[in-house]
Structure 1
């Protein structure tokens, strides 16, 4: 009835116009709620509504130009209507200088405000103690003579002391008789505070309407407000408290437990600081336990916290619970479900999947949790929660949500991850259309900016979630492995790709998925080839047989290609060429045009290593053109990189430089680190061939940074040897020790890769000659000759010839 009256007095604006005004007000104040729907606004004007959206109804009143001084009273009426049985909560009042808990106090030494301060932060971060310290310093410096502390600790949503209750309690404590409207009583309170030279501390405010009327009528009286929520209080200096540093937590523990108790256990004190993640209340609880109970040491506390963060006692959880209780149902649910999944942080879309909300609605809920300091976002926008909040919320989830609902939420999140993984795999491969999940997982659209960061930002989380739930959802393990394993391999995450594929083999066998088993075995075998592991051929042969039995010709073709790569790596280049050409013919026969660039590229590499350079040049150029025709940018980059090696062997260093430079541009665009690394080291070789050794060393250094820790030891070893040769060419004696160190690392990495190991030993022998150590050089040359053995190809023959010449000398 009141809203209709205000609407009539405001000229009867349409419900659409009112919705627009509400949206504008919210945008101006920074509120995340956005523009309400026209029907939602209309619904607020109907009689007999059972559930009142208090925030929206108050915003509508403001949109209808209701005077600001009437808004708090209107809100109180709405709250009362929504909670007809609600009891007005009392205000806890303390008059006099507050007690400062010295070890716990984190001083705001640089802050001594003229009027009003709002101190916010997550539960347990020390807001009340910071306010106490600030009030005491105002008294100590003569700015005030007394303090009035009002505790507003509320219960569930809407159950909190109103502004009227707060003003009346404060006036009563000061002996001031307050009558008239709320504004009149606020002015009376301001006069009384000035007369008594009191600082007003309002502790644990939940809503703007509790404190905004007080601030409006204080007239220069210092007011300190604490809140678990980032309230919008114009004119207030906002001081958000951050979590404490390890050093500060250790000092706090020493102050409470005693310096002697931690003297011999400083490492344990620092570990406690890490486990409580900068929350002083948690540290204070465990420090008091050590002080009061001689049976407890700091090491005992560490063990207890590592077993269960709930060991910090109920104090921290009680503090978090007070914030949790004022959240709406949707925010509580999101907090609980986010705590049940194992990932450290999630995107807004991923959080939305947990609670079945779209991105816009999930953003609004996360904004509420962020404003309540129960979630925080990093620079990338991913949302996370403090370990203690997670512990609290997970306990609530186990208590409040049935297992069926929790599992359904985690299944939705897993499906979201897998959909993202398929999209990433397609975009990184340069395909126009995304690949398809055999399990019917819906694809998720990702922007090009998200793709390069996905493996580390979300891929790890996806694998963690799916592997933890492998027994409940085996098809998800297989699905994610098929989408992610190549992406992980080309992102330097080979170990995770191997782990995921190994579990996929187990899952596929359990559910009788022969194709899934073949795909996982192929992934394991391909990774094993890259690592030079002895069982690579076994996995690849198994993949080939399984693929043939399952009738998946394309998969069998990929297995044959990988077997050919293995043969080439083992030094059997003739066998490798035969298998590559067979695979190429099969691809042509079945119309598998999308794999032609890869096969032509591999044929070219093998021909180069056999010394058939004209044929290698033709094959590499054909691979490049085929990749361009398909729009397959990474394979185009790979073909150019390999083309540059052939051009260099043919004596055209300038053409090699141009091809490698273009390959780097393409590889960098698609964040393909492996191809980028090969292209960079090939560019270094082309520059060295032109006598530009300083530039060559820089490019080899670029390649090394890309290759290090990637999980492809032959690539890293090859780059190291190339870098060492460029350094040797400079002839600088002072560089020899570093060059020797580089080559020593190459020898370590090249176990299982005869050519790279032979190249590294050969180069070490050259270093020994430069250092006038012929005996050591001879031993290294003989070791290199033994490692290379009877390997075929011109490069092996060139090294053998050089070694034999050096030994003869």
Structure 2
């Protein structure tokens, strides 16, 4: 078992070629600090200084010990055959071979190159050393120690590059190094060695005047910055160029015995290519729009079966005239379900042979092969297509060194390392739009057949979800059976459980399930486990916190795994912090979840449900305070479920907006699992959100599910469910059913002698009779509820009911009694320190003032009420108050203000699906002459 470490770029570790999860950046920095001194003991104090610098946390030593412990677990497998971090007297020592750490290997190769007796050997060693660099050393670590060491290492790398340039210039490869030297001279205007190499390269390229101009630029920069002249070597080089010294002539490279052949390895383009015009244009633009002198490199990335290879082949076919020196192609089988990934040196040997190198002349050393490959492609216009790439390591040895070449890479991964180290341009490819999917089927089957069965074609497009591979499989099956109706194929796709089987043509290379399985196998073990667990979540998407609860992991670690899944295109972050799967990918994840051990799946489901329940409970308390009637006490959450508490009311409302569909799915899942208490408690958490004007149409739905669950959970739950269903049916206008539920609830509350429950139910009965038009009966129920609330001695509930009694008096024209009750309610709200809860009472006082002709007072009350409703995002009551305010403006002759208020009320009623109220306001607007 071999472990390899990399710090010349992002900090990485691989065991037998597979990446190891090293945790967050601070933990990785501990490993990097030990790797720099591999084989030597690093004291705890020195480690702390390297990792945190001058600002360590208060308890940094225990934190450091925990980081080391986690790194040991990651690097030391169960069989013990791995790299060990040993505790020594006063510190830690990483026991590993220096050759397995890229930093030490880099220094060793550079030292060997400088001792090498011949240029060819030295060049090969330097190439090997420089290929180890993947980006800035230590990634983004920014403590003073890492920053200083990074600068030292970058200087060593720069010096090695200059050593390599010296060899190239001695052997006539001036054209190859010229672009890089130009960039170096711009970045390092005071470096005389760079200036000398650039002058020599320009002179060898037949540009002595440019070489002398470079000398003058360097002399001026030295004089202005340092007040000195160039040193003797640079002055001597300038003299020899001026004198046209014959000994400075460029070395002549021997011509090959046979002309290099022009390879034509591209596969045939797809016969029926549909859509992708935008992507083809982006690809052309990204390859053209690059810094001068840099390699044109694009990565076409996307999920398996989305058509990346077809897109690359189509672009290559349309642009083949741009590459007269040849086209190279290699399928690297990065995610092939039946073939292991192709080692890059195997592909490289194939390229060398295609370029005319005899098999027995191909160097045995991979570094020498890459050097020969780059030499053969120098200054040639060649297209290199690397298809189905697994990771950046497969690509690096196959990259030309010449800016005249173009490289297209296709991969299911994003290959971010190529972006960071080689300036690659990413082109993400998504599924086809419905119109493009229809066009693909029509192109394969003919317009006559597709137009004959539009419903079947629509069903096929829907269930293939825009995935070209799936559409191609269905089209191929339809083509095999031209006499079969398309409806037969559509039927097979309808059942989600059978859909992946229906998309299996019997060939593993074009099997949707096999394609997804290959992507799954390429994941790290932790990411693969999370992907399987995601198949247990039934909502349309998943937030980061919910995913952490499902996995039983900290959010930071979960985000790393989600990023890996996103990079493999098994998941998409469609909004910041929210993740969604393609429909067919979700089906595959569900299949994997079905295969999990029963105990593991049950624990994950419990963690997810408890995350939703306890977070919703905390969010509801922020929306409604601790005063919502029938407040339940959820059981403690499952270990690892990681519920969160929103920061404030606005954050709670945003959470409900984001998670609403997931909460409905969680309620359904809880019902299916027999977690009856979770079902009705989830409904309870949504009361304030729903009645605040958000998703009112689902209010009855969640309470019907809650009632079915409450039948298994005692009289208290049944009382609550019947009461809330009565309220929901009343809102829907079904008063007989509402009264039936409310009387059932009342009977249960009386049987259990629950005084508060009886008060709540009588309050709701009053509202139902008000909506039925029997205001006297409504007042009787409201007054009875008030007496019960006074017995319960709950000031907030009393204040709310005083307002309800006052409102009914106002409806009956008893304005003196109405005002007295509402003013008592408002005083009680303020005495309890809850003025925001008095918004509805202010609306009632506005109504009373309007009915008694005090229109200015009415508008004042309505304005205060609106301000409070908006503060708590209660759009349902806001709409009612706007309608009332519009009536008052109309009474004052302020038609423009009335129109504005009613239009806003109408907009809110429509968004809340309150058709009756919307019709009423529309009638008032029409009376103003508004259409």
SS of equivalent residue, structure 1 residue 415: helix
Task: Supply the distance in 1 between the matched residues of 2:833 and 2:400 (Cα, whole angstroms).
Answer: 65
Match of 1:376 in 2: 572
Against the structure 1 CA distance between its residues 43 and 393, is the aligned structure 2 distance closer, same or farther, given a 3 Å change threshold? closer
1:37 equivalenced with 2:67 (yes/no): yes
Correspondent of 2:369 among 185, 188, 193: 185
Match of 2:606 in 1: 411
Task: Supply the distance in 2 between the matched residues of 1:195 and 1:97 (Cα, whole angstroms).
Answer: 21
Match of 1:421 in 2: 616
> Deviations for 1:728-782, whole angstroms, at most 9, x for unmatched residues?
2x4x4xx5xx4xxxxxxxxxxxxxxxxxxxxxxxxxxxxxxxxxxxxxxxxxxxx
Against the structure 1 CA distance between its residues 405 and 523, is the aligned structure 2 distance closer, same or farther, given a 3 Å change threshold? same
Task: Supply the distance in 2 between the matched residues of 1:227 and 1:515 (Cα, whole angstroms).
Answer: 57
Against the structure 1 CA distance between its residues 257 and 656, is the aligned structure 2 distance closer, same or farther, given a 3 Å change threshold? same
Correspondent of 1:212 among 393, 396, 406: 396
* Equivalent pair of 1:437/1:479 in contact (CA under 8 Å): yes
Equivalences for residues 184-583 of structure 1 within 5 A: 184-193=368-377, 198-215=382-399, 217-232=401-416, 233=418, 234-307=422-495, 308-310=498-500, 311-313=502-504, 315-379=511-575, 381-399=577-595, 401-431=596-626, 437-442=632-637, 444-448=644-648, 449-471=650-672, 472-511=674-713, 513-533=714-734, 534-583=736-785
Match of 1:747 in 2: none
Against the structure 1 CA distance between its residues 161 and 295, is the aligned structure 2 distance closer, same or farther, given a 3 Å change threshold? same
Task: Supply the distance in 2 between the matched residues of 1:721 and 1:351 (Cα, whole angstroms).
Answer: 45
Task: Supply the distance in 2 between the matched residues of 1:192 and 1:341 (Cα, whole angstroms).
Answer: 53
Shift, 1:64, TM fit: 8.1
What is the total number of aligned residue pairs between the two structures? 692
Task: Supply the distance in 1 between the matched residues of 2:339 and 2:456 (Cα, whole angstroms).
Answer: 43
SS of equivalent residue, structure 1 residue 123: coil
> Deviations for 1:498-556, whole angstroms, at most 9, x for unmatched residues?
23322322322234x11000000110112222233212222112212212323432222
SS of equivalent residue, structure 1 residue 482: helix
Against the structure 1 CA distance between its residues 227 and 359, is the aligned structure 2 distance closer, same or farther, given a 3 Å change threshold? same
Against the structure 1 CA distance between its residues 71 and 354, is the aligned structure 2 distance closer, same or farther, given a 3 Å change threshold? farther
Shift, 1:142, TM fit: 4.5
* Equivalent pair of 2:616/2:682 in contact (CA under 8 Å): yes
Task: Supply the distance in 1 between the matched residues of 2:790 and 2:575 (Cα, whole angstroms).
Answer: 48
1:600 equivalenced with 2:802 (yes/no): yes
Shift, 1:219, TM fit: 4.3
Task: Supply the distance in 1 between the matched residues of 2:777 and 2:480 (Cα, whole angstroms).
Answer: 76
Task: Supply the distance in 2 between the matched residues of 1:5 and 1:571 (Cα, whole angstroms).
Answer: 81
Q: Which moved more, 1:1-10 or 1:614-623?
A: 1-10
Task: Supply the distance in 1 between the matched residues of 2:833 and 2:81 (Cα, whole angstroms).
Answer: 59
* Equivalent pair of 2:879/2:908 in contact (CA under 8 Å): yes
Against the structure 1 CA distance between its residues 158 and 444, is the aligned structure 2 distance closer, same or farther, given a 3 Å change threshold? farther
Against the structure 1 CA distance between its residues 477 and 724, is the aligned structure 2 distance closer, same or farther, given a 3 Å change threshold? same
Against the structure 1 CA distance between its residues 506 and 148, is the aligned structure 2 distance closer, same or farther, given a 3 Å change threshold? closer
SS of equivalent residue, structure 2 residue 305: coil
CA RMSD of aligned residues (A): 3.6
Match of 2:228 in 1: none
Task: Supply the distance in 1 between the matched residues of 2:706 and 2:887 (Cα, whole angstroms).
Answer: 40
SS of equivalent residue, structure 2 residue 266: coil
Task: Supply the distance in 2 between the matched residues of 1:710 and 1:483 (Cα, whole angstroms).
Answer: 19
Match of 2:880 in 1: 678
Match of 2:893 in 1: 691
1:127 equivalenced with 2:311 (yes/no): no
Task: Supply the distance in 1 between the matched residues of 2:481 and 2:926 (Cα, whole angstroms).
Answer: 64
Against the structure 1 CA distance between its residues 294 and 268, is the aligned structure 2 distance closer, same or farther, given a 3 Å change threshold? same
Shift, 1:178, TM fit: 4.0
Structure 2 stretches of 5 or more lacking a match?
A: 6-33, 54-64, 85-95, 108-126, 135-262, 289-295, 506-510, 638-642
Shift, 1:193, TM fit: 4.0
> Deviations for 1:206-262, whole angstroms, at most 9, x for unmatched residues?
222221343373543211111111112131121111221122112211222233322
Match of 2:89 in 1: none
Against the structure 1 CA distance between its residues 655 and 326, is the aligned structure 2 distance closer, same or farther, given a 3 Å change threshold? same
Shift, 1:601, TM fit: 1.5
Match of 1:100 in 2: 269
Task: Supply the distance in 1 between the matched residues of 2:881 and 2:728 (Cα, whole angstroms).
Answer: 21
SS of equivalent residue, structure 1 residue 313: coil
> Deviations for 1:29-70, whole angstroms, at most 9, x for unmatched residues?
xxxxxx9935445677889854679xxx99x95788957955
Task: Supply the distance in 1 between the matched residues of 2:828 and 2:398 (Cα, whole angstroms).
Answer: 74
> Deviations for 1:273-307, whole angstroms, at most 9, x for unmatched residues?
23222211111110111111124333222222112
Match of 1:777 in 2: none
> Deviations for 1:287-334, whole angstroms, at most 9, x for unmatched residues?
111111124333222222112321222622222222111112222222
Against the structure 1 CA distance between its residues 163 and 621, is the aligned structure 2 distance closer, same or farther, given a 3 Å change threshold? farther
Match of 2:221 in 1: none
Task: Supply the distance in 1 between the matched residues of 2:536 and 2:654 (Cα, whole angstroms).
Answer: 24
* Equivalent pair of 2:299/2:427 in contact (CA under 8 Å): yes
Against the structure 1 CA distance between its residues 138 and 642, is the aligned structure 2 distance closer, same or farther, given a 3 Å change threshold? same
Task: Supply the distance in 2 between the matched residues of 1:670 and 1:157 (Cα, whole angstroms).
Answer: 58
Against the structure 1 CA distance between its residues 632 and 299, is the aligned structure 2 distance closer, same or farther, given a 3 Å change threshold? farther
1:146 equivalenced with 2:336 (yes/no): no
Task: Supply the distance in 2 between the matched residues of 1:195 and 1:109 (Cα, whole angstroms).
Answer: 26
Shift, 1:676, TM fit: 0.9
Task: Supply the distance in 2 between the matched residues of 1:531 and 1:252 (Cα, whole angstroms).
Answer: 46
Shift, 1:119, TM fit: 0.6
Q: What TM-score does the superposition give when structure 2 sets the normalisation length?
A: 0.68
Q: What TM-score does the superposition give when structure 1 sets the normalisation length?
A: 0.78
SS of equivalent residue, structure 1 residue 429: helix
Task: Supply the distance in 1 between the matched residues of 2:409 and 2:775 (Cα, whole angstroms).
Answer: 77
Task: Supply the distance in 2 between the matched residues of 1:300 and 1:40 (Cα, whole angstroms).
Answer: 55
Match of 1:652 in 2: 854
Task: Supply the distance in 2 between the matched residues of 1:230 and 1:130 (Cα, whole angstroms).
Answer: 16
> Deviations for 1:630-683, whole angstroms, at most 9, x for unmatched residues?
455663222222221112112222222222222222212222121111111122
Against the structure 1 CA distance between its residues 555 and 164, is the aligned structure 2 distance closer, same or farther, given a 3 Å change threshold? same
Against the structure 1 CA distance between its residues 720 and 20, is the aligned structure 2 distance closer, same or farther, given a 3 Å change threshold? same
Shift, 1:481, TM fit: 2.3
Correspondent of 1:7 among 5, 15, 37: 37
* Equivalent pair of 2:388/2:412 in contact (CA under 8 Å): yes
SS of equivalent residue, structure 1 residue 451: helix
Task: Supply the distance in 1 between the matched residues of 2:73 and 2:709 (Cα, whole angstroms).
Answer: 52
Correspondent of 1:721 among 920, 928, 931: 920
SS of equivalent residue, structure 2 residue 876: helix
